Amino acid sequence: MKVTTAKKWFGWHKWTSLICTLFLLIWCLTGLPLIFHHEIDEWLEPEQHSSITSGTPQSLDALLQKAQKDNPDRIPRYVFWDEEAPEKLMFDFAPSMDAEYTKSKYVAFNIYTGESMPSVNPNSIMTKILRIHADLFLGIGGKLFLGLIGLVFIIAIISGVVLYGRIMKKFDFGMVRKYRSKRLRWLDTHNLIGIITLCWASVVGFTGIINCLSDVMLALWQQGQLKEMTAPYAHQKPVEGKLASLDSAVAVAQRAAPDMETRIIAYPGSIFSSKHHYAVFMKGKTPLTSRLLKPALIDAKTGKLTDIREMPWYVNTLFISEPLHFGDYGGMPLKVIWGLFDIATIVVLVTGLYLWINRRKAARQQWTLIEERERITEEDETI
């Protein structure tokens, strides 16, 4: 590699790393607890798990009426089946269909016994940490900005790999010069840990960019597939009055996709449905397909199926990338590995920042010496 080319790659690596260092530290520091968010939630707010986790499910309509009595001033928006506890069913009640999710109130039941269960706290400490990690409390603007920072991070990774490859042509792989200057030891440590975390950082960085585009993908799905599926209802008035039974809507969706399970029901008027349909989202039963959702649209007045389709590829990419981003595929062993890589990345960021500050300090000292020599020379010439 030519010297001029190496300098260009060094410039790319230095400036892209500096631009994203602060945000990467925020991501790593908030991402570490998020990797273990299920365990932390359980520790902060212990749930009383029911011993009854199977049997004949209770009527969804009966549970809805029970939940509605305690929330007369709110409307139901979603029904969720808990991924961690399949016996747990949650209703999302909000002041309006377009209210912020922080305004939601969740009511949970054991679907087999009808007993009340602890519900999700939308304003918990882990939710706030997730908001910092996902959008810095800036909404879609924050997500898009962090997505741009993610692209800068990918460039920093690529330029770092190119530079490390050039260095390793002269030295052994993984070399740390312990008996040289302190700066060289830090540099070698920075390079070594950086190359060890390369694959992990690339995966997490790339999936993070995809997650930052979630609102964009939702809008594309709404204006694309969902609009196409609801086209026959485009000129009809929004559904009013009494809606079709939730139980019948789920039964219709299950008959349309017998090898799948119900995961979410979105009410008419919510962002995941139309103003005329229940959107019943079905999931598969394998580790991979359980992350993918298939929407079945049920006419909210007649209770009849109007359409069911596979999600577009870009939405499925989002579904797969989100759990991979947090190491949520392989249970506790993968979470621990993700946590260790997260800590190692913090070390890379700190050492990189130290090297930059140290280099600037050395450059200032050198420049000061040069100025001092010039001053002394000028005084000698004057004499």
Residue 382 lies in a domain: no
* DSSP string for residues in 19-54: HHHHHHHHHHHHHHHHHTHHHHHHHHS-----S---
3-state secondary structure of 308: strand
279 within 8 A of 296, measured Cβ to Cβ: yes
**Model confidence pLDDT, tens digit, residues 210-259:** 999 999 999 999 999 999 999 999 889 998 888 999 999 999 999 999 99
The reply to whether 316 and 242 lie within a common domain is yes
- Looking at the structure, do residues 148 and 19 belong to the same domain, yes or no? yes
Please measure the distance between the N-terminal and C-terminal CA atoms of the chain and give it in whole angstroms. Answer: 49
Instruction: Output the pLDDT for position 354.
Output: 85
Whose CA is closest to 90, among 112, 72, 66, 110? 110
> Is 356 within the bounds of a domain?
yes
**Closest alpha carbon to 154 in 292, 329, 16, 1:** 16
CB-based contact 156:16 (threshold 8 Å): yes
Distance between CA atoms of 138 and 24, rounded to whole angstroms?
Answer: 17
Counting every residue written for the chain, the total comes to 383
Q: Is residue 336 part of a domain?
A: yes
Specify whether 17 is located in the same domain as 59.
no
Average pLDDT by stretches of 10, the chain with 383 residues: 70 89 94 89 68 77 92 93 85 90 87 84 84 92 95 92 76 65 77 87 94 94 95 90 93 94 94 95 87 94 95 93 83 89 92 82 54 51 50
Residue 378 lies in a domain: no
Q: What is the per-residue DSSP string for 322-340?
A: HHHHTT-SSHHHHHHHHHH
Phi, psi angle pair for 289, to nearest 5°: -70, -20
At 48 the pLDDT is 58
Please tell me whether residues 307 and 200 are part of one structural domain. Answer: no
> Do residues 27 and 159 share a domain?
yes
Instruction: Dig out the tokens for 79 from the structure.
Output: 């029904």
Instruction: Give the burial string for 349-358 (b: 16+ CB within 10 Å, else e).
Output: bebbbebeee
Range(s) of the domain holding residue 345: 3-39+140-212+331-373
227 and 154 within one domain: no
- Tell me, yes or no, whether 23 and 148 share the same domain: yes
Query: Is there a domain that residue 130 lies in?
Result: no
| Residue 58 C-alpha from the chain's centroid | 33
Asked if residues 92 and 269 have their Cβ atoms less than 8 Å apart, the reply is no
Do 91 and 193 belong together in one domain?
Answer: no
Q: Which pLDDT score is estimated for 155?
A: 94
Two tokens at 144?
Answer: 């898009």
Instruction: Answer yes or no: is 134 within a domain.
Output: no
Cα angle 198, 204, 205; round to 5: 85
3-state DSSP call for residue 208?
helix
Q: How many domains does the chain have?
A: 2
Q: Are residue 306 and residue 220 in the same domain, yes or no? A: yes
Given this model, what pLDDT does residue 77 score?
95
Answer for the pair 283, 292: CB distance below 8 angstroms, yes or no. yes
Q: Do 218 and 321 share a domain, yes or no?
A: yes
**Of 10, 44, 35, whose CA–CA distance to 326 is shortest?**
35
Same domain, yes or no, for 219 and 259? yes
- Closest C-alpha to 97, from 65, 131, 66, 74: 74
Residue 157 lies in a domain: yes
**CA gap 129, 117 in Å, rounded:** 24
Query: Does residue 131 lie within any of the structural domains?
Result: no
Domain boundary among 325, 340, 355: 325
DSSP 75: E
pLDDT at 188: 78
- Regarding whether 196 and 101 lie in a shared domain, the answer is no
CA distance 178 to 175: 9
CB atoms within 10 A of CB 137: 9
**CB neighbours of residue 203 within 10 Å:** 16
* Other beta carbons less than 10 A from residue 152's beta carbon: 18
**End position of a domain, from candidates 325, 343, 364:** 325
